[in-house]
A and B are shown apart, each in its own frame.
Chain A
Amino acid sequence: MTVNNIPVFIDNIEGRNKKNKLFRALVIAMSVLTVVPIVLIVSKIIINGIGQINFNFFIQTSPDSLQAMTAIANNQTIPGGIANGILGTFLIVLVSSAMAVPTGIMIGIYLYENQGLRYSNFLRNITEILQGVPSIVLGIISYLWIVKNITNGFSAFAGSVALSIMMLPMIIRSTEETMKMIPNEIREAAFAMGAPYHKVILRVLIPTGFSGLSTGILLSISRILGETAPLMMTALGSSVINYNITKPTSAVPLLIWEFYNDPNMVNLVWSSALFLMIFVLTLNIISGSLAGKHKTGRKR
């Protein structure tokens, strides 16, 4: 047996240790730097937005340019609120969810129940591609399908269609993941009792996976709450409160865009942005704690 005869190392232990420490410092510095914009953005919104929020904020509709201009000229706070936006968002999201949630859950269950099929894999791939489609392209699609052909004009429904296509892949994916986490024994026990398939789904699978499913739904809603671009070419916006889904409707992000573009109303952007952010964050937190309870833990 032989032994290696290694020559004396021309080595650089000090240099390596120095590089090691330097890199660590760099990583920490960069990580801190990453946090800076978060803090800046959130604080800016809170600081600037909190002043405009009062009771009227929620119940009055948005002011028009003239009202705003007059108020500024007289050094008063701009009247009005974003009630039309809030209710519009509510309406659009409701309709979107009504379309996307049952569909998404059923498709997710289909994928779960038919795991190995080539068709399922194909479907899953298509779903993933669908998820990557930019929201503005979906706006174009909804414009072509709904605005042009079905409602003959801008409408809340068109907005909902665009947003529901956005929600669909997320709900499909989270449903499939949730179903996979249900122990197989539960499913088998239900079938073994002679329950018909649709009862197994409705009375066993869905209730058992409820928190996982809810997480997916809440996350997809929080995702579409802030979407502006697709709504600009579908729901268009409105200065009044509207409950008719075949007519143009306002939404909070649309209002923010309108305020931003009007030099008289610019100060209103921050309160609206604050409202939007709080809403989105609340949904994220709720879904996060639901996920925690359910041990699914997958956030994206």
Chain B
Amino acid sequence: MTETLINIDNPVLKVRDLSISYEAGKYAVKDINADIESKAITAIMGPSGCGKSTLLRAFNRMHELYPDIQTTGTVYLDDTDIQKMSTIDLRRKVGMVFQRPNPFPTMTIYENVVAGYKLNGIKLKRSERDDIVERALSDVTLWDEVKDSLFKKGTFLSGGQQQRLCIARAIAFNPEVLLLDEPTSALDPVSTARIEDLLVDFKKHYTILLVTHNMSQAARISDNSMFMYLGELVEYGKTDSMFTNPKDPRTEGYLTGKFG
């Protein structure tokens, strides 16, 4: 049972009939239809193997890196079919943060933040770069902690700090949408709380799609929630009402811990 969220004006992302398979006949994600609300946090949750990461990675066409994966259906970003955009363009507008912090080990903290520009061959003046680095690191509340070590490699940072660095790297581009794939699952509770606070702040400026295996996280910070099971979008609605009043028995089963 799929249900598009009702009453979303001008959704930033639209998904129509999206199906993704790794092997002929086996679907990781099946017939997804949904609109994503702009400047809100949408959580995607579900038990292991339900397809939530697969769905997330469709939004920035990451699957194209792996030739075995077949995708059918369409995703629209601001009413443009993302298949018709160049991947470079798309990935500037849709940034991604991964489950395990992965700052580039051969680059300094400074270089990591502006890595997006360097990789895209965009030349910036030194002052522009300094500005971007300071703003991005401040936005992730890392500036004070690293401002004296900007030119050291990021590997001495703690897991939480590294992840915030990766978030800074993703937002340095000022994307429209931020995709986060279980960003706090490898972190301790204190770091997790810090990043959750960040995301709540961020939604003023970015649309956030957050895959999480932690229901309480979804309940804490998301505005809308998707529940996925075995590749299907089972239920999708405002977080508050979904958690207090799930419509589908499978959603209820997951939320009450009967499985997952």
Contact = CB atoms under 8 A, between A and B. Distances in A.
Interface of A: 1-6, 9-13, 16-17
B18 to A, nearest CB: 25
Interface of B: 86, 88-89, 120-122, 131-132, 135-136, 138-139, 171-174, 201-202, 204-205
Contacts of B202: 1
Contact of A6 (B173, B201, B204): B173
Contacts of B122: 9-11
A174 B122 CA distance: 49
B171 A1 contact: no
28 contacts: A1-B139, A1-B201, A1-B202, A2-B135, A2-B138, A2-B139, A3-B174, A3-B205, A4-B131, A4-B132, A4-B135, A4-B136, A4-B171, A4-B174, A5-B174, A6-B132, A6-B173, A6-B174, A11-B122, A12-B121, A13-B86, A13-B88, A13-B89, A16-B88, A16-B120, A16-B121, A17-B86, A17-B88
A6 B135 CA distance: 11
A16 B119 CA distance: 11
A14 to B, nearest CB: 8
Given A3-B139, A4-B131, 19 more contacts: A1-B139, A1-B201, A1-B202, A1-B204, A2-B135, A2-B138, A3-B174, A4-B135, A4-B172, A4-B174, A5-B174, A6-B132, A6-B173, A6-B174, A9-B122, A10-B122, A12-B121, A16-B88, A17-B88
A11 B131 CA distance: 20
Contacts of B89: 13
A11 B120 contact: yes
Interface SS of A by simple majority: loop
B21 to A, nearest CB: 26
Contacts of B174: 3-6
B93 to A, nearest CB: 12
Contacts, number: 36
A2 B139 CA distance: 7
A11 B173 CA distance: 14
A6 B121 CA distance: 15
Nearest to B123: A10
Contacts of B88: 13, 16-17
A182 to B, nearest CB: 33
A13 B132 CA distance: 22
Contacts of B138: 2
Contacts of A1: 139, 201-202, 204-205
A3 to B, nearest CB: 5
A3 B178 CA distance: 14
A16 B120 CA distance: 8
A245 B173 CA distance: 75
Contacts of A16: 88, 120-121
B120 to A, nearest CB: 7
B217 to A, nearest CB: 21
A2 B171 CA distance: 11
A16 B122 CA distance: 11
Contacts of B173: 6
Contacts of B205: 1, 3
B82 to A, nearest CB: 15
B218 to A, nearest CB: 23
Contacts of A3: 135, 139, 174, 205
Nearest to A5: B174
A4 B88 CA distance: 19
A12 B120 CA distance: 9
A6 B86 CA distance: 20
A4 B89 CA distance: 18
Nearest to B138: A2
Contacts of B86: 13, 17
Nearest to B172: A4
A12 to B, nearest CB: 7
B133 to A, nearest CB: 10
A3 B140 CA distance: 11
B110 to A, nearest CB: 15
A7 B132 CA distance: 11
B125 to A, nearest CB: 10
Nearest to B88: A13
B257 to A, nearest CB: 35
A9 B136 CA distance: 18
Contacts of B120: 11, 16
| From A1, A10, A11, residue with most partner B Cβ within 10 Å | A1
Contacts of B172: 4
A3 B176 CA distance: 12
A12 B122 CA distance: 9
A9 to B, nearest CB: 6
Contacts of A9: 122
A289 to B, nearest CB: 28
A20 to B, nearest CB: 10
Contacts of A2: 135, 138-139
